[in-house]
């Protein structure tokens, strides 16, 4: 069976009997900042004019040049393309790590959307909220998500509504409001039951609030939906080891090292396997 020391180190939050808190493993519930550049961004690009696509591509290659290009575009933009110019400017700023400036540009882009296009407004508002989360301004992010949620509902866009609920959960966790975060995650699962990430984040939060039975149910569904996801494999192992099932934990972490050898997730999985074998002390995180 797993040692009492390892159980303590894998537990969520501080040990109530200890004088100093123990950092949880794996790290706090969060989404990588690169999410700003993934599904939501791609969904917008597919629907926008060629100039925006070219400007965003420039942002991937040279964010400084893209900021200059987008600023010039914005200064000469009419009502029909002002939102796209601001969108590109925000993207270039985000690529430079200027999260506060990017959020302002995305919000301005949202407000400049012409005509009846609530789906585009919802996407831009959601991206703005992601930039705010990355800057650490979770209160502002929640306000932006409220507007984005209304736009997504107006556009009958349940997939984006689900993503908005996940972002809301991220901000609520960061603000120390886990019960509200759980409700947001439940909404995300209800809107898109096939979204493996919604089940993964639900499992992580349940584990962090010491509800291991719920965490196990959530992670099992995540595995069914996306069995090759290494983040799911890592979390499944942590839940298993905290539940006293060392063999299941070992299998989960070994699967991660097999699926993505050399990756950051594989290195993390190997460090967990080493802890389980009692080879090395748990690294500080």
Residue 137: both structure tokens together? 């301004």
Q: What is the mean pLDDT of the chain?
A: 82
Q: How far apart are CA 79 and CA 115, in angstroms?
A: 10
Q: Which tens digits make up the pLDDT trace of 14-49? A: 222 233 222 222 232 333 333 444 444 444 444 455
Q: Which tens digits make up the pLDDT trace of 78-112? A: 888 899 999 999 999 999 899 999 999 999 999 99
Q: Which residues contact 67 (CB under 8 A, 6 or more apart)?
A: 89, 92, 93, 96
CB 110 within 8 A of CB 124: yes
Q: Which residue has the tokens 């499992």?
A: 203
Q: Which tens digits make up the pLDDT trace of 204-235? A: 999 999 999 999 999 999 999 999 999 999 99
Residue 52: both structure tokens together? 């925006």
The conformation of residue 2, written as its DSSP 8-state character, comes to: -
Answer with the residue of higher pLDDT: 151 or 14: 151
Long-range pairs of 77-84 with CB within 8 A, sequence gap ≥ 24: 79/112, 79/114, 80/114, 81/49, 81/51, 82/109, 82/112, 82/114, 83/109, 83/110, 83/112, 83/113, 83/114, 83/120, 83/124, 84/48, 84/49, 84/51, 84/52, 84/55, 84/109
The conformation of residue 47, written as its DSSP 8-state character, comes to: T
pLDDT at 78: 84
CB 58 within 8 A of CB 66: yes
Answer with the residue of higher pLDDT: 163 or 80: 163
Q: Which residues contact 150 (CB under 8 A, 6 or more apart)?
A: none
Q: How far apart are CA 174 and CA 28, in angstroms?
A: 9
pLDDT at 164: 95
SS3 per-residue string spanning 101-146:
HHHHHHHHHHHHCCCCCHHHHHHHHHHHHHHHHHHCCHHHHHHHHH
Domains of the chain and CATH, by start: 1-24+195-285 (1.25.40.10), 38-192 (1.25.40.10)
pLDDT confidence bin for 261, thresholds 50/70/90: very high
């Amino acid at each position: 069976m797993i040692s009492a020391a390892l159980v303590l180190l894998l537990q969520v939050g501080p040990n109530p009997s200890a004088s100093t808190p123990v950092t949880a493993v794996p790290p706090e519930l969060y989404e990588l900042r690169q999410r700003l550049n993934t599904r939501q961004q791609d969904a917008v690009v597919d629907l926008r004019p060629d100039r925006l696509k070219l400007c965003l591509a420039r942002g991937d290659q040279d964010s400084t040049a893209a900021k200059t290009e987008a600023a010039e575009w914005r200064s000469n933009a009419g009502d029909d393309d002002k939102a796209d110019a601001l969108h590109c400017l925000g993207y270039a700023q985000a690529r430079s790590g200027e999260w506060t400036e990017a959020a302002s540009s995305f919000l301005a882009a949202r407000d400049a959307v012409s005509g009846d296009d609530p789906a585009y407004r919802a996407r831009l508002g959601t991206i703005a909220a992601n930039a705010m989360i990355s800057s650490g301004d979770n209160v502002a992010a929640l306000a932006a998500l409220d507007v984005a949620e209304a736009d997504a509902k107006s556009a009958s866009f349940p997939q984006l509504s689900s993503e908005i609920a996940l972002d809301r959960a991220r901000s609520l966790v960061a603000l120390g409001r886990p019960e509200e975060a759980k409700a947001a995650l439940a909404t995300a699962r209800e809107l898109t039951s096939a979204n493996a990430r919604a089940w993964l984040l639900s499992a992580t939060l349940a584990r962090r609030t010491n509800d291991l039975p719920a965490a196990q149910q959530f992670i099992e569904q995540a595995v069914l939906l996306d069995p090759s996801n290494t983040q799911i494999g890592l979390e499944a192992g942590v839940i298993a080891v905290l539940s006293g099932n060392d063999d299941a934990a070992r299998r989960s972490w070994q699967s991660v090292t097999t699926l993505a050898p050399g990756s950051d997730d594989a290195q993390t999985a190997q460090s967990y396997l080493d802890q389980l074998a009692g080879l090395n002390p748990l690294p500080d995180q």
